[in-house]
């Protein structure tokens, strides 16, 4: 067994005061389990733009009391190194946590580290949805924030999301700066003295500043939710709600109360926070089967609409029962709800009489249908890299330029409706969804019928998003090298001619006059987008957290759904066979669900 790994494991035991993780390491040393010890101590958990997300357990590659404290020490030192020390301590930091195992402990460790450094700390005393941390940073003018959550990962995981003073998750170069400070501050501080400082430095943002009330008030004011249209000829909609055993239920209940909406029916077995996730082992509402209990509840209660939050309530999933002789549940794709929100937000803006220029943003791998809406109506559309850290920062920039940002969204059911919070927010999105659904019901329309009306005006937009597993970096590099062909990119795939190419690994973008990409370029990750003359788009990229090559293919046009589908299928098949070559490259497709 590697002497280095044994040494690191023994050093760990000297500093680990947690009985659970100590026993784990002692057992592995006793059993001489080299493979597992190397997994845990052979490297360190990398801090990136998403902060940390990993399995909980012992070792430097896991989420635990030691790695969380070291991260907090590095994060606090980075703030002190980049901001005025007196001001940053006075402004303080916001810390929230979800209902997962150890989340509260990790939040308290972070709070203790910051108090020892002299920071004011706003630590929520209750479990909160992720967007409330982002909002609280702005409302309290804090220097940054932390949310302890792994979002929709399985129960064995936890995470550490870091927010900058502008309320958005960090982007480069802050990630590498914080990572460097973590490595410079690995020696653990004695946290026992932190309790002596709590009287003057520790505050609950709800109890002392009523952050929750201000959050709801601002959302209602921005969305004009009190003006929720009701018709004498229609009844209030009934909606089934599931929190996926996460934090959302109490916050959604209160949100609906503020807009005087009384039609929510909870999925009783899934609304209470439960870190075991007994009915949904993988608590992502996008997953097949995740809404089965909600569908059953809808059938029993006579409701045609379902909304679901993921466990930290920053995302929103929507399903609706179709109209006709054989009604069935239609689970909306994130692109479909994003398009409906785009239509709804722009409609409300026009009705308001506000003359301010407006903008809608989505990620590069999301549908281009909202761009068609923007082109038709003459408002600004932009796309950013994947992730709300990019969408939120760009939204702030556009507001500084005089735009009103109506919506940011990504296909993975994340929506920023308005700009009360510069992050995806499943609570405010739920309010907007109810408002829109009630309006449509008054017009005798369903959400799906309204989406189909938009397709009639703008064309059909169909997509095929999937991935392959690839555990060999050399194969991944060879696939992208073949596509780049020493800068002589191919001109067509099958019969589909390429209009432009954007390579965010090299910085090349043929759609720009100087051939230089305007989006962030990262030579350490792979991402290429092809735009075709026949209104199709392909983006191929690697995952930052998993051994996956992901592809996002969209075809569109005014032709029939069947014709657009055929165009999409042909392009997908040709691209995969010619450039990914799954059999030759030993690429593993996802398991069929």
Q: Which residue numbers are catalytic?
A: 151
CB 550 within 8 A of CB 541: yes
The total of other beta-carbon atoms located within 10 Å of residue 165's CB is 18
Beta strands in 27-168 (DSSP E): 52-55, 93-97, 121-123, 144-148, 157-163
Is 409:315 a contact under the CB 8 Å cutoff?
Answer: no
Neighbours of 5 (CB within 10 A): 17
Task: Pull the structure tokens for residue 350.
Answer: 């026009």
> Which residue in this structure is represented by tokens 């392959």?
468
List the end-to-end C-alpha distance of the chain, in Å, as a whole number: 40
Cα Rg of the chain (Å, integer): 25
Give residue 568's region: left, alpha or beta (phi > 0; psi -120 to 50).
Answer: alpha
Q: Which of 110, 98, 5, 115 is nearest to 66 (CA)?
A: 110
Number of neighbours of residue 59 by Cβ within 10 angstroms: 29
3-state secondary structure of 6: helix
- In 156-254, at which residue ranges do the beta strands (DSSP E only) sit? 157-163, 202-203, 239-242
Q: How far apart are CA 218 and CA 238, in angstroms?
A: 25
Measure the CA angle with vertex 368, ends 364 and 373; round to 5°.
135
Cβ partners under 8 Å of residue 16, min gap 6: 22, 25, 58, 65, 66
Structure tokens at 499: 């209009």
């Amino acid at each position: 067994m590697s002497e280095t790994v044994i040494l690191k494991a023994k050093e760990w035991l000297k500093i680990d005061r947690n009985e659970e993780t100590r026993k784990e390491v002692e057992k592995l040393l006793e059993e001489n389990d080299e493979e597992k010890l190397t997994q845990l101590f052979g490297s360190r958990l990398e801090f990136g733009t998403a902060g940390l997300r990993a399995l909980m357990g012992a070792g430097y590659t896991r989420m635990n009391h030691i790695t969380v404290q070291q991260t907090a020490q590095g994060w606090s030192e980075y703030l002190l190194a980049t901001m005025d020390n007196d001001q940053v301590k006075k402004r303080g930091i916001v810390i929230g946590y979800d209902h997962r195992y150890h989340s509260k402990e990790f939040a308290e460790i972070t709070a203790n580290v910051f108090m020892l450094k002299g920071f004011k700390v706003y630590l929520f005393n209750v479990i909160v949805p992720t967007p409330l941390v982002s909002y609280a940073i702005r409302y309290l003018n804090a220097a940054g924030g932390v949310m302890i959550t792994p979002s929709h990962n399985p129960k064995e995981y936890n995470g550490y999301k870091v927010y900058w003073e502008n309320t958005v998750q960090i982007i480069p170069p802050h990630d590498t700066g914080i990572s460097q400070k973590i490595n410079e501050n690995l020696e653990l501080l004695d946290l026992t003295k932190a309790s002596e400082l709590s009287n003057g430095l520790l505050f609950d943002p709800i109890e002392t500043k009523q952050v929750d009330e201000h959050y709801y008030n601002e959302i209602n004011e921005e969305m004009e939710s009190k003006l929720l249209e009701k018709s004498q000829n229609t009844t209030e909609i009934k909606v089934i709600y599931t929190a996926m055993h996460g934090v959302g239920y109490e916050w959604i209940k209160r949100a609906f109360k503020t807009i005087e909406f009384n039609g929510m029916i909870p999925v009783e077995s899934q609304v209470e926070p439960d870190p075991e996730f007994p009915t949904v082992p993988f608590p992502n509402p996008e997953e097949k089967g995740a809404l089965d209990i909600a569908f059953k509840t809808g059938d029993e209660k006579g409701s045609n609409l379902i909304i679901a939050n993921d466990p930290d309530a920053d995302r929103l999933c929507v399903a609706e029962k179709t109209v006709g002789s054989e009604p069935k549940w239609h689970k909306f794709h994130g692109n479909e709800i994003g398009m409906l929100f785009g239509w709804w937000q722009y409609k409300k803006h026009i009705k308001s009489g506000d003359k301010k220029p407006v903008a809608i943003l989505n990620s590069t791998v999301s549908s281009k249908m909202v761009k068609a809406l923007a082109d038709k109506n003459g408002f600004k559309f932009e796309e950013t890299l994947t992730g709300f850290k990019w969408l939120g920062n760009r939204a702030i920039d556009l507001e500084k330029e005089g735009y009103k940002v109506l919506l940011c969204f990504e296909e993975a059911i994340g929506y920023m409706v308005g700009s009360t919070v510069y992050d995806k927010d499943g609570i405010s999105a739920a309010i907007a969804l109810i408002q829109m659904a009630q309006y449509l019901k008054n017009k005798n329309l369903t959400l799906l019928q309204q989406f189909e009306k938009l397709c009639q005006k703008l064309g059909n937009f169909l997509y095929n998003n999937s991935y392959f597993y690839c555990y060999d970096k050399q194969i991944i590099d060879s696939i992208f090298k073949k596509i780049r062909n020493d800068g002589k990119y191919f001109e067509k795939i099958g019969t589909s001619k390429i209009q432009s190419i954007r390579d965010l690994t090299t910085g090349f973008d043929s759609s720009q006059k100087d051939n230089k990409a305007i989006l962030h370029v990262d030579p350490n990750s792979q991402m290429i987008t092809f735009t075709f003359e026949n209104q199709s788009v392909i983006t191929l990229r690697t995952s930052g957290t998993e051994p996956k090559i992901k592809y996002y293919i969209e075809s569109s046009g005014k032709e029939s759904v069947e014709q657009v589908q055929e165009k999409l299928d042909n392009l997908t098949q040709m691209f995969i066979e010619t450039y990914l070559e799954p059999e030759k490259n030993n690429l593993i497709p996802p398991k069929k669900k």
